[in-house]
Amino acid sequence: MAREVNWERNHDPVGIWNGRGKAALVARGHSPTDRRWDGESLDKSLGAFMMIAVQNALDDAGITIDDVDGIIGSAGGQGNGQPLSDVWGPRPYFDAPYDSEDGLTHVTGQWLRQQMGFKNLRYINNHGDPVWNLIGQASQAIADGRAEVVVVTYPNGNLPGRYHQDPSNQARGPAVWPNTWGWGLSGQGFTFNQYCQKYGTNHDRMAPFVVQERKNGLLWEHSYYAQHEPGEFTEEDYLNGRMIARDLSIFDCDRPVLAAAAYVMVSADRAKDMKQKPVYILDHTESQFSPRSLVQTIDDTEEWTDIQAQRSYNGSGLKPEDIDIFAPYDGFAVFTQYYIEAFGWRGVKRGEAHDFYAGDISLKGPNPLNSGGGNMGTGRMRTVFITDPLEQLQGRAGDRQVTTKAEVAVTHGVLPITAGTVVMSTSPD
């Protein structure tokens, strides 16, 4: 089926979205969260987990497979639907339906249609990007009338529980600069080091943020830590983390896990029939940049994230003070301050994020940043960035429910260099 192109809202000025309030996020479903796959248990494969998540999402919405007319996903969870980690081949495959990579290291809509028996699909797209972009893409597809009841699928596979282990002992081309120091990590540490120098701060000042995220994550039942390592993560833990690049500690990196999530998104009309309160999509915007030199700098980062934030405000018509729930990505924890400062959430300006962390960012306080715990608190699933804002706005976040107003949420990720922003509201207007 179709490969969607040019659906993104990334040409400034984007203006208020003409699909505003026409699509709603209503339900979520999650699989168990495992650290890795044992290579044997097909009931714990990524495909099996994806089916569990889809069924849970349908049950949560109070609908059946026959109600669904669209599947929009990222088969492998990364850009262009690619998987992040190793593939299974050339090891021998299993009996159908596990006789190819589909179902093991990525999960397409076609595979799900066959296994789960979807009969009324009129739109399938597996080429999506990270989960923010998928919610944006599904919102656009619904607003454009391509489908009315869409299941958004986000499988996060990780067979060995680790990734980007480059066995090569050679680095070629532009990779000669960063790869001799390990995948991507030295670059993120470098940018953060520039941030620290520019604003007179330091890595230790990240501690209150990461500790709070871990605390919040323990209250999310799908978190890897809630399920497998439920003890308290302390400031002492953070400050003793091994540096894996300058100014980037092992506890600034999200833990690879294997899990799947699904969301039900519907047209505003259909939203009225759903079991859960609809959360309307007010806007989606996307962005993609290129560094000015071989390595991303703090200047690049601040320029890009400023554009991302202004594009989102332009698309939604909101101001910083309108955002109740703010969920900026933390796949490396050192990303998050760039986003907070760009969006100016709670009045935080450039260079002030670490002061903000030192204040009250507790879950029940006035500034409940990443109330779901982010990737630091849940593992590398990214889906808490959709599920938590959804549940906060629906008023069903349980122990994680914030005590501040929860009517408008903004969630933003994945990287400063390429991101999607989704604006959600309890009201379609």
Site map 244..263 versus another protein, x via CB under 8 A: ------xx------------
Q: What's the order of all strands across the beta sheet hosting 418-425? A: 123-125, 70-73, 149-156, 259-267, 23-30, 279-288, 418-425, 408-414, 325-328
C-beta of residue 261 within 8 angstroms of C-beta of residue 385: no
Max Cα–Cα distance, the chain, nearest Å = 59
With binding defined as CB under 8 A, does residue 240 bind another protein? yes
CB 264 to another protein: min, Å: 33
Distance CA 213, CA 352 (A): 19
Amino acid (one-letter) located at 329: Y
- For another protein, the closer CB: 20 or 255: 255
Q: Which of 4, 10, 32, 36 binds another protein (CB under 8 A)?
A: 36
Joined together, the tokens standing for residue 237 give 């833990």
With binding defined as CB under 8 A, does residue 86 bind another protein? no
With binding defined as CB under 8 A, does residue 205 bind another protein? no
Which 143-182 positions form the footprint of another protein (CB under 8 A)? Answer: 161
CB 250 to another protein: min, Å: 6
With binding defined as CB under 8 A, does residue 236 bind another protein? yes
Joined together, the tokens standing for residue 175 give 């990779």
Binding residues with another protein: total (CB under 8 A)? 17
With binding defined as CB under 8 A, does residue 243 bind another protein? yes
- For another protein, the closer CB: 16 or 243: 243
CB 231 to another protein: min, Å: 5
Q: Give, in order, the Cα–Cα distances in Å from 392 to each of 15, 27, 276.
A: 27, 12, 13
List the one residue out of 253, 259, 205 whose CA is nearest residue 374: 253
- For another protein, the closer CB: 259 or 390: 259
C-beta of residue 13 within 8 angstroms of C-beta of residue 421: no
Q: Which of 233, 329, 345, 357 binds another protein (CB under 8 A)?
A: 233
> 389: helix, coil or strand?
helix
With binding defined as CB under 8 A, does residue 37 bind another protein? no
Q: Which of 145, 167, 200, 231 binds another protein (CB under 8 A)?
A: 231
List the one residue out of 418, 352, 414, 348 whose CA is nearest residue 383: 414
- For another protein, the closer CB: 116 or 239: 239
Q: Which of 144, 229, 273, 306 binds another protein (CB under 8 A)?
A: 229
- For another protein, the closer CB: 242 or 319: 242
Q: Which residues contact 172 (CB under 8 A, 6 or more apart)?
A: none
> Interface residues with another protein (CB under 8 A)?
35-36, 161, 228-229, 231-234, 236-237, 240-243, 250-251
